[in-house]
Amino acid sequence: MISGFLTGNCLRKRIAENRDRLYGVALAWSGDAMVADDLVQDTLMISLQRYPQLRDHERLNAWMYTILSNSWKQYLRRTHTTVDVEKMNICSEQDAETRSSELEIVDRVRLAIVKLPPGQRQTVTLVDLAGFSYAEVAEILDIPIGTVMSRLHTSRHSLQRVLANFRSQRPFEASYLRRVK
C-alpha cells in the first residue's frame, strides 16, 4: 500500500480475487448464470472506477458486495420480473434420476433459495455463502441489523419447509448443510 491506496496491479488482483465469490452470491440471488455474470461484471467495473472513493481500503470486500447489492437492486427495478411461487417446480423427477446425489442436493437448495423473496435471498447468501457477519450484511444492504436477523430467521425457516419433503425422501448427510452463525 502506498499512502493508504493500493497500487494498480495490487488493486486489480484484490478485486479479481473476489470474482468467484461475487459470482456465487449473484447466482444465488438471480438463479440465472448470465444475469449473475452481468452483475459481477458491473460490480468489477464499478469497483475499479470508483476505488478512489473508498475511504477504508481494508473494507474492500464488503464495499464490493455493497456494489453487487446495488447492481442487483437496479436489475430488479429494470426487469420488474415477478414469479408465481406456486407455479415453480422445485425439481423434476428426471433431474433426480440423472444426477449424482450431491448435485441433486445442490440443485434443490439452489432452487429453494431462488424461491425466497429478494431481500431474504440476499441476506441468507451473504451470511451463509459469503460468510459475512450480521453487521457487515447490514452495512452491505444498508438495513438495520435487526432486519438482517429477521430476514435470516425467516429465510432459513422457509428453506427448511421447502426442503422438508426432499429430506424425507432422501436422508441428508450432515456435511451437505450446515448452519453458519
More confident residue, 12 or 171: 12
Q: What is the pLDDT of residue 2?
A: 39
Q: What is the pLDDT of residue 96?
A: 42
Q: Are residues 56 and 20 in contact, defined by beta-carbon separation less than 8 angstroms?
A: no
**Mean pLDDT over all residues of the chain?**
79
Collapse the DSSP code of 173 into the 3-class scheme (helix H, G, I; strand E, B; otherwise coil) and give the result.
coil
More confident residue, 126 or 94: 126
Listed in sequence order, the DSSP H helices in the chain are 8-17, 19-30, 33-50, 60-79, 93-98, 101-115, 118-124, 134-141, 145-169
B/e letters for 127-149, b = 16+ CB within 10 Å, e = fewer, are bbebebebebbbbbbebeeeebb
| 9 sits in which H/E element | helix 8-17
Mean pLDDT of 108-124: 89
- In this predicted structure, the answer to whether residue 144 has a pLDDT above a threshold of 90 is yes
Q: What is the pLDDT of residue 89?
A: 55
Mean pLDDT of 128-150: 92
Distances, alpha carbon 140 to alpha carbons 33, 45, 91, 167, in Å? 22, 18, 32, 33
Collapse the DSSP code of 28 into the 3-class scheme (helix H, G, I; strand E, B; otherwise coil) and give the result.
helix
Q: What is the pLDDT of residue 136?
A: 92
Q: Please report which confidence band the pLDDT of residue 128 belongs to, taking 50, 70 and 90 as the band edges.
A: confident
Q: Please give the model's pTM, rounded to 2 decimal places.
A: 0.59
Could you report the per-residue pLDDT of 153-167, keeping only the tens digit for each? 999 998 888 888 766
Distances, alpha carbon 73 to alpha carbons 136, 150, 174, in Å? 18, 20, 34
Cα distance between residue 74 and residue 158, in whole Å: 25
Q: Are residues 152 and 124 in contact, defined by beta-carbon separation less than 8 angstroms?
A: yes
More confident residue, 101 or 67: 67
